Amino acid sequence: MGRSLQQWGGIAAALAIACAATPLSAVGGGGPVASPAATPASVADAVATALRANPALAEPVRGSVTLYDNGAEIPATAMLADAARATIRWRSSKPRVLSDRDAGSGENIVRKGMVVRGAADTPVRLTATVTMPGAAPVTVSRDIVVRARPRALPPMSAYLFVYFTGNSIEGEKLRFAVSDGNDALRWKTLNDAQPVLESTMGTRGLRDPFIMRSAEGDRFFLLATDLSTGRTGWDGATDRGSRHLEVWESTDLVHWGAQRHVEVNLPNAGMTWAPEATYDPTIQAYVVYWTSTLFADASRKQGDGNGPQILMSTTRDFRTFTTPRPWFKAADRPELVPASGMIDTTVLKDGNYYYRFTKVTQAKGCKSADIYAERSTSLRATVASGAWSVVGRCVGRSSGTPEVEGPSAFVANPNDRSGFRYYLWVDDYGGVGYIPLATNALGSQVTWTYPRDFDLPASPRHGSVLSITAAERDVLTAKWKPASGAAGTAQGPNAR
């Protein structure tokens, strides 16, 4: 379960009662240290206090929320002795607006907390009853407002690019750029190419940012890797690296909420790199995936034999995450080299298909490690299920790039001036940084074009592109004036 104790203010007093003032974990907000002196009543009270302070319900609700089943699922009480025995039963005053029961079965359960927004703001009372053996039940009520559904968005006519620039303290901060008109190949930096967001938590370094629009359309989530090579170098980065993601949330792209430092990974994970997310309507939740190494021993010297691999979790609110599980590893495909593993997965949805692009090492047929492409109609399926078919090998080299990593895929806006329909940006990490590859057709086999001319910000590294409206672009440029003229130096093959 993901943990971000910094976001759970007001709980310390109840935890002191439950844990005899045992101090909170100092690293990553891992929760309180369990005290054998905790009584059933004090555990129930601590769980109830955590529910009252739940930050996901503190503001008007714009999307589905996490409704916990027991105290062990709540970030602030997860480490309390017997927290799992404190069960929680929910009741919603308007279950058609905010559900209080799970629906579906098997892998496609839609968890309670699903929100359906109507034509007007709707007040809802949520009531949680905490039941702990040996203690009287404790009832918690929260009066919340479910926001009216947003108006339909106008056609997308611009783009926002979020990126970092290099292996330094300044380079591992996040910068923004906007497209020069409706053109994914022409860009202008914002804020004089200076950082817009920086980390104050974890390692205090940010890499591989990913930005997405919520399923409802009126919120934005920004995720990033918690890694500072500028401060500590690469020593320990893959075996003793962070198990956290850095998360921000906004409703307008210029006002960003407090940074959330959320522990999402397994205890035996060596790193949590390049997070991305895709909404899965079959479970009304976001599927989040990242690169990790996994170890079989506490000293982190014996790997699990798979090298770096892609793990997958789900979340409703980017506050609480399910326990991650392997999603894609090199051993899943006979043509890949298991010991070399894989890094950096990105997903693009087109029609009924999800297209997945990952950097892998092939046993033969490719000059270097490169981008490998698959597609499936089931986002959460494993390779073993047979749902994923290969649609591209050695994508970068076949398109004329050097060895690349950090793929980021997106669908072009309607009437994009570049004339392309789909993009796959790849990171020439030893050279110019991001290179845009493009195509006009996705299918069982995809051919990518290396455009002859493009203009990206200077030294752009692994990041992501978001389609935005003209109004959203105007808000961004009013806040952080775009640079006049070109963003950087033309970086197409003609400029080399």
Six-digit token string for 143:
């009066």
Does the pLDDT value for residue 13 go beyond 80?
no
Chain position carrying tokens 């496609």: 108
- For residue 465, which of 156, 99, 257 has the smallest C-alpha distance? 156
pLDDT digits (tens, 9 = 90+) for 90-119: 999 999 999 999 999 888 999 999 999 999
Please check the confidence at residue 14 and state whether its pLDDT lies above 90: no
**Which residues, including other chains, have CB under 8 Å from residue 214's CB and lie 6 or more apart?**
62, 63, 220, 221, 279
| Least confident range of 9-23, 340-354, 377-391, 405-419 | 9-23
Q: What share of the chain in percent tops pLDDT 90?
A: 87
Query: What contacts 338, CB < 8 A, 6 or more positions away?
Result: 305, 306, 307, 329, 330, 331
Could you read off the pLDDT of 213-265 as tens digits, one per residue?
A: 999 999 999 999 999 999 999 999 999 999 999 999 999 999 999 999 999 99
pLDDT score of 106: 87
pTM: 0.92
Check: CB of residue 484 under 8 Å from CB of residue 172: no
Report the mean per-residue pLDDT for the chain. Answer: 91
Residue 7 reports pLDDT greater than 70: no
**The pLDDT value given to residue 37:** 65
CB 312 within 8 A of CB 289: yes
Task: Give yes or no for residue 34 having a pLDDT over 50.
Answer: no
Asked if pLDDT for residue 17 goes beyond 90, the answer is no
Confidence of residue 389 (pLDDT cuts 50, 70, 90): very high
pLDDT at res. 298: 86
Asked if pLDDT for residue 494 goes beyond 50, the answer is no
What are the phi and psi torsion angles at 243 (to 5°)?
-105, 15
pLDDT, residue 38, reads 84
CB 107 within 8 A of CB 314: no
Residues 87 and 67 sit within 8 Å (Cβ to Cβ): no
* In the predicted structure, residue 15 carries a pLDDT above the cut 70: no
Q: What is the structure's pLDDT at 156?
A: 98
pLDDT at 487: 55
Mean pLDDT value across residues 150-174: 97
Higher pLDDT, 367 or 490: 367
Q: What is the mean pLDDT of residues 3-8?
A: 44
What separation in angstroms does the CA of 104 have from each of 117, 242, 414?
20, 35, 36
**pLDDT (mean) for 340-345:** 97
pLDDT tops 60 at residue 4 = no
Half-sphere exposure (Cβ direction) of 150: Cα atoms closer than 13 Å: 15
pLDDT band at 363 (very low <50, low <70, confident <90, very high): very high
- pLDDT on residue 46: 97
Q: What is the mean pLDDT of residues 164-184?
A: 98
Contacts of 480 (CB under 8 A, 6+ apart): 176, 190, 191, 196, 254
Mean pLDDT of 151-170: 97
Rounded distance between C-alpha atoms, residue 261 and residue 75, angstroms:
12
pLDDT of 350 higher than 70: yes
Class of the CATH domain delimited by 158-495 = mainly beta
Q: Are strands 422-428 and 405-411 parallel, antiparallel or unpaired?
A: antiparallel
User: Is residue 28's pLDDT more than 50?
Assistant: no
pLDDT computed for residue 5 by the predictor = 40
**pLDDT of 19 higher than 80:** no
Residue boundaries of the structural domains of the chain: 5-146, 158-495
Instruction: Say what the pLDDT of residue 483 is.
Output: 80
Judge residue 414's burial from the number of C-beta atoms within 10 Å of its C-beta, 0-12 exposed, 13-18 middle, 19 or more buried: exposed
**Of 38-47, 273-282, 287-296, 475-484, minimum mean pLDDT range:** 475-484
